[in-house]
Structure 1
């Protein structure tokens, strides 16, 4: 495995170096370096609030030390359920209790006994490798963005109706900008930790990465990937001491506002609501519909499931139906629409209530191990990896963790984490 990794990173590093030497990118990075210098020495920076702004937040131990604890998933899941305008069935309540219990055991209890506190033998990754991989992923996503826009003959944000003409085979590579941003941001965090760049410089680079993500993802009309980029930058910045607690909280409020705002104006453009409708209605109705779907899936799945892994397997490219289309077929016999099944929807359909408990415990365990490694080592790469996993788990509360690229991220993380566990028991 190490030979394959060394070969791949050698090739990617070579590609990255050649691109950086090209005239176009030399010109771009020269301009960015100039802007960065103006940013870091700007007179107006003194008007920006200090780290102690809204200092009363820092008095909360939970917010200061555990705001991105894996248990935030349960808190947000519960909030999502409360947001719905209808009540869950008795059977679904039992399923949810099992889900919450399984996740709590996996994230809060098991890591205490399985992973040792001495983590000197964890896998170490070279900063250059991480940066090159992230840089190349961003370039690939930008290329496919222009291909996707050209394929539908317009920009989906401006013409919302053409968003449904986008081909998944072309848009999926665009979303590689998310892990690409995560890896590049982690590399910049490493530079900051090694005192190669200042806090002002790394903050500027984080903002620039986020601006790139916003520019391309927003133009495609997607809210979820945009929120993913936002969350990743905030989580990496928080654990890297680059972003203050008050900025995290304000950023969360901005993120919620973006979800509500984009959904509201997109719904106006599609004429599914009128201007007199409350902006929060789109969020409430979406939660209500998703909970209704989950009620049906829970009834279908029962105690031991119906599809026995077929829904998860349908995430593989080339399947007749994708997992969200399979949900549409199961609940309404409509295969031309995609329906979000929540975080536990796939688990309950595939393996029932038993599968929900085991699946949520495994998911919690993965996040719990990642969180413990971050807490102990403060390693730049593991901060980025944890940020990526936690982000997609939070977003999966509504959408589910069903996209093949996200499943690959989790598969890579599982391999890395279990290698770390094995090494922690080796002398």
Structure 2
């Protein structure tokens, strides 16, 4: 494994070196460096509130340290349930209680038995230069496939919404690699900031640039959820990397929620899909619809499930139907329509309530272990990895964790955390 890693990073380091010394990238980085200097030395920065603004938020222990703990998944899920316009059935309530309890056990209880060493030195560490090369190459790859995607449909989907449905998954999926790409590059910048190689103003500017780059590509293709993922990852990394103040995160989250409500409302009104005057109605109706789908899935799946893993396996490219299309087929809707089943939808369909208990416990354990390692080591790599996993878990509350690339991120995390736990146990035995 280490030999493969060494060979791969050697190749990617070479590619990164060649790209960065090319004329076009030398020009781009020169321009960005100039803008960064203007940003850092800008007079208008003095008008921005200080770090101690709304100090009562900064002093709150939960907001200061645990705002993005794994339990935020339960909080977001609870808010999603509250938004529903109709009462949940008793059967679904029981399934949700099982999901919440076992997630809590996995996230809070089980990690205590696997990692006890409180050493700041990571049991498994990664070279920042290697990580930067990986992230940089992912960004380049996503940019290349962005242009291939728009060339294949003859335009930019943001400007021509009708051609978005002509996009080919084989071309668009690599574009989504920009999300882990900016996550890895951003986490390396956290390490540079920690080592005092760059200032707080510089890293804030660079994270903003990464958001703008990813936003331009993802919004250009007409995708909103991946755009939210990119923004949320940067916020979580900035929060735990001490780049953003707690008050900035809280206010930013409120603005973000307000924007989602506003955009959803005005889009629905313009498309005549709702006539209600409440801006919250679009959000409530969406939550109600998704929970109605979950209720149907819960009804037909019982305690032991229906598809025995076939739904999750349908995430693999080349499957006849994708997982969300299979959901549509299961509830007797049109198979060409994708239906979001919530975070536990796949679990209940594949293996019923037993599957919900096991898979929610595993998900909680992955996030719980990641959170504990990140807090214990304060290492840039583990901050980035945890931010990536938590982001897709939060967004998965509605959509489910069903995309092959997201499942790939979790698979990599499981491997990394497993190696970390084994090395940590060995280190404890030596002491």
Distance (whole Å) between structure 1 residues aligned to residue 277 and residue 128 of structure 2 = 50
Tell me if structure 1 keeps the 8 A contact 2:145–2:172.
yes
- Please identify runs of 4+ aligned residues in structure 1 that moved more than 4 A: 268-271
Aligned equivalents of 2:145, 2:269: Cα separation in 1? 28
In structure 2, list runs of 5 or more residues that go unmatched.
none
Partner of 1:33: 33
Counterparts of residues 91-240 of structure 1 (less than 5 Å) = 91-119=91-119, 120=121, 122-240=123-241
> Is the deviation greater in 222-231 or in 249-258?
249-258
Aligned-pair CA distance for 1:265: 4.5
C-alpha displacement of 1:367: 0.3
How far did 1:253 drift? 1.6
What is the deviation of 1:217? 1.5
> Where does residue 307 of structure 2 map in the other structure?
307
Aligned to 2:392: 392
8 Å Cα contact 1:374/1:383 also seen in 2? yes
**TM-superposition CA deviations, 1:108-152 (whole Å, max 9, x none):** 111111112245452110111111111111111112222222222
- Please give the alpha-carbon distance, in whole angstroms, between the structure 2 residues aligned to 1:155 and 1:180: 22
Q: Which residue of 2 aligns with 1:59?
A: 59
Q: 1:137 & 1:273 partners in 2: Cα distance?
A: 40
Match of 1:243 in 2: 244
In structure 1, what is the Cα distance between the partners aligned to 2:261 and 2:139? 27
In structure 1, the gaps of 5 or more residues are none
Q: In 2, distance between residues paired with 1:349 and 1:36?
A: 50
Deviates more, 1:152-161 or 1:315-324: 152-161
Indicate if the aligned counterparts of 1:210 and 1:229 stay in contact, CA closer than 8 A.
yes
The C-alpha deviation readout for 1:20-54, integer Å capped at 9, x for no partner, is 01000000000000000111011111111111111
1:415 aligns with 2:415: yes
**Counterpart of 1:332 in 2: which secondary structure?**
coil
In structure 2, the partner of 1:381 is 381
Aligned length: 426
TM-score normalised by L of structure 1:
0.97
SS state at 2:243 partner: coil
For residue 269 of structure 1, report the CA deviation from its aligned partner: 5.5
Q: In the alignment, is the contact (CA less than 8 A) between 2:211 and 2:234 conserved in 1?
A: yes
Out of 85-94 and 389-398, give the one that drifted further. 85-94
Q: Secondary structure at the match of 1:425?
A: helix
TM-score (norm 2): 0.96
Contact 1:161–1:270 (8 Å) recurs in 2:
no
Secondary structure at 2:356 match in 1: helix
CA distance in 1 between partners of 2:31 and 2:268 (Å)? 38
For residues 79 and 11 of structure 1, what CA distance do their matches in structure 2 show? 46
Shift of 1:173: 1.1
State the Cα distance separating 1:194 from its structure 2 match: 0.8
Q: Which moved more, 1:55-64 or 1:6-15?
A: 55-64
Say whether residues 1:255 and 2:253 are aligned partners: no
> Residues 337-386 of structure 1, C-alpha deviation per residue, up to 9 Å, x if partnerless?
10001000000000000110110000000000000011110000000000
Aligned 8 A contact 1:344 1:400 in 2: yes
Map 1:311-350 onto structure 2 (within 5 A).
311-350=311-350
